Structure 1
């Protein structure tokens, strides 16, 4: 195979992989052993920046963009007139090792269109990971996209060589999936996810007894949903996420705004891409569910089925529940402090530690890093400097939005002054 042909395949299959956003920090700590190549640290593998500014990257490609399915929302669907390509197993192995040695990447994210059938495709994905681990002694991060409908045996083997596994459920509701991908069955997505969940639990329990038990998918599993292709509201989307977090122990759910790629009467029209802000609000809600102690019913319910685009979901909840406020930062428990707009979990922990030694006032909170432009309307402390309790939710919202715009305008002015 000529270098030019490999390069052409790489261009085609790397471009096709950009629609899959289910990659993030690895959460894995696979260490180098026996003088192997690379390792996977918990700091993560992705095309992103860490807190200290370090950029980490991975080779993100499809094994092939051939597919037997004709999903309306997918760029690789069989009826789409695009250039097709497929890697051989050894070609992906060689690319990964060569890119790693040149310090281009820190790991591999490998997905694929489905060709022939699920097991045929999954077998080749597993073969790539197996060759990297056993033949190349590669200890870097590997994320495999599991194929819906793959056998339990292949899913079990995949988790022994990959750090993270993921199955995209693609559309939030079964009704939406049937509309846009009638050849697919929701049960085929659930089966491998359930297998991975059970294997992770089993291997962890065995490792407590037998220390030599190998790690199984140490970075867990994740999934992705396409947002805006089938008309679900935010409540339907987040209730689906909540279900998978609760019943499948997922590490992450990713939300990918639908990008119109061709005309289809079942899909939103070209030019009606999902706003990035909607994705952002869904991720913020996801964060509140996983780390801030919120229940999904508090944020989205029959009377509030869509997230506000102009304010974040925590502020939206607070304005709808002003009877819960003000919160006294010197006496409130962790749960209520976490619900105050302007208080992140780091600030909550700092407040809980600091108030053991002193009654906190506004100056203390400012030094801790509390966003007082938001929090001042929802808290009291050892000072009444900002306290005012005669404001309506609409008035508070207006003041916060006005303040946010002023800060944004000020930031732009400061940036422009650098060039004048």
Structure 2
């Protein structure tokens, strides 16, 4: 084995893989068997964090950065003058096993540029996973990227060896994809998604009848959208995400801010980059839609097509709907408690359980983890030391932002003091 060449390939293909952020492993419960190698039970992959705070990682690489397509937003597009490389199948298998044995990684995230054809590329990705499972008895986490346009037969086989599959929708709208990737078809992204969804449903149904039914993509599937490469609003992006959650049973939709990779008139200026705060606001909105009972239209609509960068989306909604407040903490139902700024779902459950025994006041709420600097403007409780109800939305927003800035400054000053 030429170790210098392997190292060079690793540098090239690991760097090319960094633009894909859809590499969480949450949801897989594959366990070790027959004294094999690895175990994906209860862990996350690719510098994810488990509930107890542990950081875990994976080998995240492309099989190759050669590609037959010329997508304007992609660093590996065929017209881009970059150094090219390709791993052999056995090289990826050996790297994964050797890195795992040295405790560098806990799994594999494998993607690829599309070379020769979608089926040829997908077949090679599957072969890597198959060799790891059957030849090396590897039971750790494997995430394979689904190649747009791959056949149903290959997508079915991929789910037998991978814990999670994901095909990146790339651009949130069909018009945006036609503009920046005219060689690709929107339906080529949807076909593998639908196949994986149907097989997951089928295997779960069979598992209820036949306990020996093997696992099929136990961590489900995910997708990723590039934000800011075209002119889509946050409303467009979140409606698209909701469509994939509803119709394809996505575990996660990831939002990746566009990073300028080419001087192309179809793209934003080479010097512009989507602020990370926009990504953060999209993820917060995603969370509210999936776990807090909000609909897209409540948070984003024709009047408010984009998220407020200054405040989180729940606070933004509350400021636009002050007629729903103040809410009595000791009487409100679960759904309304979840809509109060500064109160997360854990605090909601604590409030519901706590008020069974007594009326809750400010001190109780503070101990439950409620962010009173925001929540106090929207609630009533068994206390009377905050009863101002003459504030409009702009004044409330200003006071919250002022408090947040002050809190940040205090934390920063404390950190500086520790090093002086």
- TM superposition score normalised by structure 1: 0.99
- Name the residue aligned to 1:110: 110
User: Aligned-pair distance for 1:391?
Assistant: 0.4
What is residue 17 of structure 1 aligned with on the other side? 17
Q: Which residue of 1 aligns with 2:221?
A: 221
CA distance in 1, matches of 2:141, 2:43: 11
Per-residue deviation, residues 37-59 of structure 1 (Å, max 9, x unmatched): 01102231121333433220000
Alignment correspondent of 1:377: 377
Do the aligned residues in 2 keep the contact of 1:26 with 1:44 (CA within 8 Å)? yes
CA distance in structure 2 between the aligned counterparts of 1:153 and 1:402, rounded to whole angstroms: 57
Q: What residue number does 1:168 align with?
A: 168
Instruction: Tell me, in whole angstroms, the C-alpha distance in 1 between the residues paired with 2:147 and 2:215.
Output: 21
Look up the SS of the partner of 2:265 in the other structure: coil
Trace 1:146-161 onto structure 2 (pairs within 5 A): 146-161=146-161
Distance in 2 separating the partners of 1:53 and 1:30: 21
3-state SS of paired residue (1:81): coil
CA distance in 1, matches of 2:208, 2:158: 22
Q: What corresponds to 1:410 in structure 2?
A: 410
Map 1:110-149 → 2, pairs under 5 A: 110-149=110-149
Question: How far 1:355 sits from its partner (Å)?
Answer: 0.7
Output one character per residue of 1:62-99: Cα deviation in whole Å (capped at 9) or x when no partner.
Answer: 00000000000000000000000001111101100000
Alignment correspondent of 2:232: 232
* Corresponding residue number in structure 1 for 2:52: 52
SS at match of 1:411: helix
Q: How far apart, in 1, do the equivalents of 2:79 and 2:300 lie?
A: 38
CA distance in 1, matches of 2:55, 2:171: 31
Whether the aligned pair in 2 keeps the contact of 1:26 and 1:41 (CA below 8 Å) is no
Deviations 1:134-168 (A, max 9, x none): 11000000000000010000000000100000000
User: Alignment partner of 2:187: what SS?
Assistant: helix
Q: CA deviation at 1:27?
A: 1.6
Q: 2:360 is matched with which residue?
A: 360
Cα deviations by residue, 1:357-383 (Å, 9 ceiling, x for unpaired): 111111111111110000000010111
Deviation at 1:419, TM superposition (A): 2.3
**Shift in Å, 1:414:** 0.8
Q: Secondary structure at the match of 1:226?
A: strand
- 1:6-405 pair list within 5 angstroms: 6-405=6-405
Residues 1:419 and 2:419 are matched in the alignment? yes
Does the CA contact (< 8 Å) of 1:329 and 1:379 recur in 2? yes
- Offset at 1:24? 1.3
Q: Deviations over 1:5-57 (max 9, x none)?
A: 11111110000000000111332110001101011022311213334332200
- The 3-state SS of whatever aligns with 1:254 is strand
Give the ranges of 4+ consecutive aligned residues of structure 1 lying more than 2 Å apart after TM superposition.
48-53
Asked whether the equivalents of residues 292 and 338 of structure 1 are also in contact (C-alpha less than 8 Å), the reply is: yes
For structure 1, the residue ranges without an aligned partner over 5 or more in a row are none
RMSD: 0.8
Distance 1:222 1:42 in 2: 18
Question: Are 2:43 and 2:56, in contact at CA under 8 Å, matched by a contact in 1?
Answer: no
Q: Name the SS for the 1:95 alignment partner.
A: helix
CA distance in 1: counterparts of 2:387 and 2:247, whole angstroms: 43
Aligned equivalents of 1:134 and 1:291: distance in 2? Answer: 38
SS of equivalent to 1:239: helix
Which structure 2 segments of 5+ residues have no match?
Answer: none
Which whole-Å CA distance do the structure 1 matches of 2:82 and 2:367 have between them?
56
Question: 2 CA distance for matches of 1:112 and 1:149?
Answer: 14
CA distance in 2, matches of 1:361, 1:4: 65
Conserved 8 A contact 2:25-2:141? no
Secondary structure at 1:255's aligned position in 2? strand
Q: Distance in 2 between matches of 1:332 and 1:53?
A: 33
1:385 positional shift: 1.4
